Amino acid sequence: MPIKKDIRKNFRDSVFRRDCYTCKYCGVGPYYLNTEEHLDAHHITDRSNIPNGGYVKENGISLCKNSCHMKAEKFHMTDGVEWETNMHPDDLYKLIGSSKVEATQTSKKLK
């Protein structure tokens, strides 16, 4: 059984690879050598609201650490009351060709 550290790393790596190590919102990147310094793998649907923590690429998006990721977090920090323009989870899912339904179904298959 994989440990949580490995699950997080696999999630992050699969999201970054799919997104070509580039922020899917503003387009900054790629940062092949120092990805961890510049990008975050953001959970589009909060980990507590999706089976098995939502550690699947269908629920993740690469966002630049200091700008876009904080804008996306506004939705979670306000319990879905406020969000930045084009940063609603539905908008983020569209950027990666996924949906909450797809992310939930894939996440249910995690062991």
Q: What is the pLDDT of residues 10-48, one digit of tens each?
A: 999 999 999 999 999 999 887 666 677 889 999 999 999
Q: What is the pLDDT of residue 73?
A: 93
Mean predicted confidence (pLDDT) in 3-16: 91
Q: What is the pLDDT of residue 32?
A: 62
Q: What is the per-residue pLDDT across 50-82, written as a single tens digit (0 to 9) for each?
A: 999 999 999 999 999 888 999 999 999 999 999
For residues 74 and 84, the answer to whether their CB atoms sit within 8 Å is: yes
Q: What is the pLDDT of residue 9?
A: 93
Mean predicted confidence (pLDDT) in 78-96: 95
Mean predicted confidence (pLDDT) in 88-97: 97
Q: What is the pLDDT of residue 31?
A: 66
Q: What is the pLDDT of residue 52?
A: 92
17 Cβ contact list (under 8 Å, min separation 6): none
Q: What is the pLDDT of residue 33?
A: 60
Q: How far is CA 38 from CA 6, 15, 48, 62, 64, in A?
A: 20, 14, 25, 10, 6
**7, pLDDT greater than 80:** yes
